[in-house]
């Protein structure tokens, strides 16, 4: 087992700003359901699987729909989202992320991804980052999405790392809760007050230095 901390990255909102595109797509869907999705409520959708997001929205909007409609909405949401990300490339990597990953690899840290998104591998390839990851866990690999720690546990197993020796980078409350549950070191990135439950919070990824984890 490697003693250097293993870094487990979230994707949307940590590596790339696709979180804004998820929000835009859900906003359009919510508009058609006569529900106004606020930025504050959207914080609760971050890190949560597509179907669990729709469950939450239907609850907030006090709506009941058939399973056929449910699946149609999921499909529509994903199509809206895929349309928005069709042109992303390495210029969409958030400042500081690429340099951190390169430096961490140079210093023999293992790098893993755990994203609730089923589009994660596709996006990593578009960003030209796929080959940097020693393990990739996405929405297709787990039964329970964040705040359940299943995906983080799998990422630690795939990298042969002790969970206590893993550092999680997350922009979502759900992700921080999941990492905290299994005693990983949780790093919140962003301005949301919901991130205060993390071991440490940075407003921007570019403020993080590899030496912070020595």
Active site residues: 10, 12
* 115 neighbors 40 (Cβ within 8 angstroms): no
Which option in Mg ion, ligand BG6, none does residue 116 bind, with CB closer than 5 to 8 A by kind? ligand BG6
| 85 lies in the site for ligand BG6, by CB under 6 A | no
Strand partners, 108: none
Judged by CB under 6 A, which stretch of 43-51, 92-100, 152-160, 200-208 contacts ligand BG6? 43-51
CA 96 to chain centre: 17
How far apart are the C-alpha atoms of 131 and 71, rounded to whole Å?
33
Distance between the two ends of the chain, CA-based, in angstroms?
A: 17
Q: Which stretch binds ligand BG6 (CB under 6 A): 1-9, 87-95, 110-118, 182-190?
A: 110-118
Q: Is position 78 an interface residue for ligand BG6 (rule: CB under 6 A)?
A: yes
In the complex, the smallest distance separating the C-beta of residue 26 from ligand BG6, rounded to whole angstroms, is 8
109 is an interface residue for ligand BG6 by CB under 6 A? no
Does 48 sit near ligand BG6 (CB under 6 A)?
A: yes
Segment interacting with ligand BG6, rule: CB under 6 A, options 27-35, 45-53, 99-107, 201-209: 45-53
In DSSP terms, which residues pair with 188 in a beta bridge? 170, 201
Q: Would you say 51 or 199 has its CB closer to ligand BG6? A: 51
Q: Which does 119 bind (CB under 5 to 8 A by kind): Mg ion, ligand BG6, none?
A: ligand BG6
Nearer to ligand BG6, 83 or 103 (CB): 83
Which of these ranges, 47-55, 95-103, 177-185, 190-198, lies near ligand BG6 under the rule CB under 6 A?
A: 47-55
16 near ligand BG6, rule: CB under 6 A: no
Q: Which residues contact ligand BG6 by CB under 6 A?
A: 11-12, 19, 22, 45-50, 53, 78, 115-119, 139, 172
């Amino acid at each position: 087992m490697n003693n250097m901390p293993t870094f487990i990255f979230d994707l949307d909102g940590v590596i790339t700003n696709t979180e804004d595109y998820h929000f835009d797509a859900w906003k359009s869907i919510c508009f058609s359901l006569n529900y106004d999705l606020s930025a504050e409520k959207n914080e609760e959708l971050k890190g949560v699987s597509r179907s669990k997001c729709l469950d939450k929205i239907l609850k907030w909007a006090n709506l009941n729909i058939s399973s056929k409609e449910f699946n149609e909405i999921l499909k529509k949401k994903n199509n809206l989202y895929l349309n928005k990300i069709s042109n992303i490339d390495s210029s969409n990597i958030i400042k500081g992320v690429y340099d951190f990953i390169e430096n961490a690899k140079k210093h023999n840290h293992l790098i893993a991804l755990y994203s609730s998104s089923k589009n994660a591998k596709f996006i990593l390839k578009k960003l030209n980052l796929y080959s940097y990851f020693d393990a990739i866990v996405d929405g297709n690999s787990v039964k329970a999405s964040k705040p359940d720690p299943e995906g983080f546990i799998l990422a630690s197993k795939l990298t042969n790392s002790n969970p206590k020796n893993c550092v999680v980078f997350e922009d979502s409350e759900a992700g921080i809760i999941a990492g905290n549950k299994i005693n990983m070191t949780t790093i919140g990135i962003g301005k949301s007050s919901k991130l205060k439950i993390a071991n440490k919070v940075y407003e921007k990824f570019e403020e993080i230095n590899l030496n912070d984890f020595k």
